[in-house]
Amino acid sequence: MAVNIRDNLKNGSLWNEFATILNAAIFDADTQKNNYEELLKGLANVEKSNRWAEKITDFGGLGSFAYKEEGKDAKEDSFEEGYSKTLEHISFSKTVIISRELRDDNRVREAKQKCMNMVAAWKRTKAEYLSQMLTTSIGATTTMAFGGKTGIDITAPDGKALFAADHLMKSVTGGTQCNLFKDELGSDPRILNKISNALRNMKDDRGVAMGYTADTLIVPGNRPELERFAKAIIGSDGEVGSNKNDINTERGKWKLIVNPLWTPASGNPYIVMSSEALKELRGTNFFNRTELDIEDDEEVKNRNLIYNGFGRFSAGFANYRHVCMGGSSDTTAKTL
């Protein structure tokens, strides 16, 4: 991330020297490695945008080759346009106040911490936004509220929630498919294989199985037993819970993401994702329109130093075939 600071303080101002120290702290905070940035990159395709919104359109592949008689024309085929999704950027802002008294007492450390926290809060806000969108777009839930804004669209391009039992295939009349399941991982490692199979057999808009391999397991940050069992499944040599000396067919196949921002009140939900499908199908996307832009100035009536941070971004789903959710308590969820 690149922070931009607009310094409005005039030469000779009370705050000039102090603000220089604080601005340096802001730049330093921006360069530090942050877990929220890593989480964002693990869950979505993160890109820059220079438009008011981003439109993503899916194009289905060609059909299979057909027999051609000698001397005859080949059967004509074409790429078929699938569903489209437009992601409109949203603005966010926050103000931090450094009091005149804090400056007079030369409490530099406290002032620096306030400013550095603005950078950390911005990075966390982006991860919170995406995490909430990813983990609440279930069943009949198609909008969310965040940061004071309501009615944020969190649907997949077919108009369904990201995780739904009746996703549509555009060119298959009456055809639906499911990526929302009841089955918890529990103590049965075979469930992970079953839900991976469901993802692999997701069909494109022509009804052809796409064959993507699930390789990322996402679990909530407040389910330690689920986290422990997930680590056992993906890291043990032998089959977990078995004394028959069977090999563990899931070992070495998975990347585990423990999402600290996903804290469901009940149940043991989890998500499997194909990182290949995430990229190729543009599954989950996050667009940085305006990176954190900080402006400082002195408030004359109280002599405080004001820092205002502003930024814009958007996120959303251009496909649903890259993920499946298990352990869902939603009434529409199916059984594997």
Residue 73 within a domain? no
Tell me the two tokens of residue 307: 């820092």
DSSP string, 230-271: HHHHHH-SBPTT--S--B-TTTTS-EEEEETT---SSS--EE
Residue 196 lies in a domain: yes
d(Cα 293, Cα 50) in Å, to the nearest integer? 15
> How high is the pLDDT of residue 327?
96
- Helical (H) or strand (E) element with 294: strand 284-299
Residues 6+ apart with CB under 8 A from 114: 96, 98
Residue closest to 184 by CA, chosen among 109, 264, 248: 264
Given the structure tokens 């020297």, which residue do they identify? 17
User: Which of the four pLDDT bands, split at 50, 70 and 90, describes residue 188?
Assistant: confident
CA distances from 202 to 93, 242, 322 (A): 40, 30, 9
In a domain, 322, yes or no: yes
Between 153 and 251, residue with greater pLDDT: 153
- Residue for token digits 């002599």? 303
Query: Does 11 have pLDDT greater than 50?
Result: no
Q: Do 163 and 139 meet the contact criterion of CB atoms below 8 Å apart?
A: yes
Query: Sorting pLDDT into bands at 50, 70 and 90, what band is 171?
Result: confident
pLDDT-above-90 percentage for the chain: 53
Specify the pLDDT at position 248: 67
Highest mean pLDDT among 13-27, 77-91, 187-201: 187-201
Q: Is residue 32 a part of any domain in this protein?
A: yes
Domain count within the chain: 1
**Higher pLDDT, residue 111 or 28:** 111
Higher pLDDT among residues 198 and 57, named by residue: 198
pLDDT given at position 12: 45
Domain contains 76? no
Asked whether the predicted pLDDT for residue 298 surpasses 50, the reply is yes
Lowest average pLDDT, out of 7-16, 163-172, 233-242, 316-325, goes to: 7-16
Rounded (10°) angle between helices 35-43 and 108-136: 20
- Give pLDDT tens digits for 45-77: 999 999 999 988 776 656 677 777 777 777 776
- Residue 24's pLDDT is what? 67
Convert the pLDDT of each residue in 12-34 to its tens digit.
Answer: 465 666 666 666 666 656 655 66
Amino acid in position 155: T
Cβ within 8 Å of residue 325, ≥6 positions away: 138, 163, 179, 180, 181, 269, 270, 271, 333
Residue 228 within a domain: yes
Query: The domain spanning residue 108 has which CATH number?
Result: 3.90.1690
Task: Kindly report, residue by residue over 29-42, the tens digit of the pLDDT.
Answer: 665 566 899 999 99
Q: Is 231 exposed, middle or buried (0-12, 13-18, 19+ CB in 10 A)?
A: middle
The pLDDT, as a whole number, for residue 16 is: 62
Please tell me the total number of residues recorded for the chain in this structure: 336
Report yes or no on 46 lying in a domain: yes
pLDDT of res. 240: 64
Residue 311's domain spans which residues?
4-57+84-326
Residue 144's SS3 state is strand
For 116-120, 196-200, 280-284, which range has the lowest pLDDT when averaged over its residues? 116-120
Split at pLDDT 50, 70, 90, the class of 84 is confident
